[in-house]
Structure 1
Amino acid sequence: MTEQDAAEWMFDMFMAKRFLYQEEAATHLLHLHNEALAYFDENGNVCVGKGVLSAFNKLTPDAVYERAAKFWRDRLPSDLPGRQQ
């Protein structure tokens, strides 16, 4: 699976529910044993690869990332400008 394939899989999961938890996506991608797709950071957290995130962000320009709960969701009229809320 390429980084683009992984981003498209994340996009499909996001579109199905209109939200996507980072841990859910990263854990799935981690099982593919490719550190470009997912890896553990220095604190032991599972993370989506940077290239995958970049491609996913291009596919979801109207999504926002809730930092506290670690998930992507549709933008609401009350959201502040920017990707992270």
Structure 2
Amino acid sequence: MTPQQAAEWMLEQFEAKRFLYQEEAASHLFHLHDEALAYFDASGNLCVGKAVLAEFNKMTSDAVYERADKFWRDRLPSDMPGRMQ
């Protein structure tokens, strides 16, 4: 699976529910055994690969990332500017 294909899978999951937890996406991608898709950071957290995340961000310009709960969701009128909330 390429980073583009992984981002497309993430987009499908996001569009089906209108939200996507980072842990769910990273866990699925990690099981594909490709560190370009998912990896453990220095703190031991499972993360979506940077190339995958860059592609996903391009596809979801109206989504925001809830940093505290680690998930992407649709932007609300009350959201602050920027991707992170």
- TM norm structure 2: 0.99
Residues 27-78 of structure 1 deviation map (CA, whole Å, 9 limit, x = unaligned): 0000000000000011111000000000000000000000000000000000
Aligned partners of 1:22, 1:74: CA distance in 2, in Å? 14
**Identity level (%):** 76
SS at match of 1:68: coil
In the other structure, the counterpart of 2:32 is: 32
Aligned partners of 2:12, 2:44: CA distance in 1, in Å? 27
In the other structure, the counterpart of 1:17 is: 17
Aligned partners of 1:20, 1:12: CA distance in 2, in Å? 10
In the other structure, the counterpart of 2:69 is: 69
4+ residue stretches of structure 1 with deviation over 2 A?
Answer: none
SS at match of 2:39: strand
Point out where structure 2 has 5 or more consecutive residues left out of the alignment.
none
- RMSD over aligned CA atoms reads 0.3
Point out where structure 1 has 5 or more consecutive residues left out of the alignment.
none
Q: How many residues align?
A: 85
SS at match of 2:64: strand
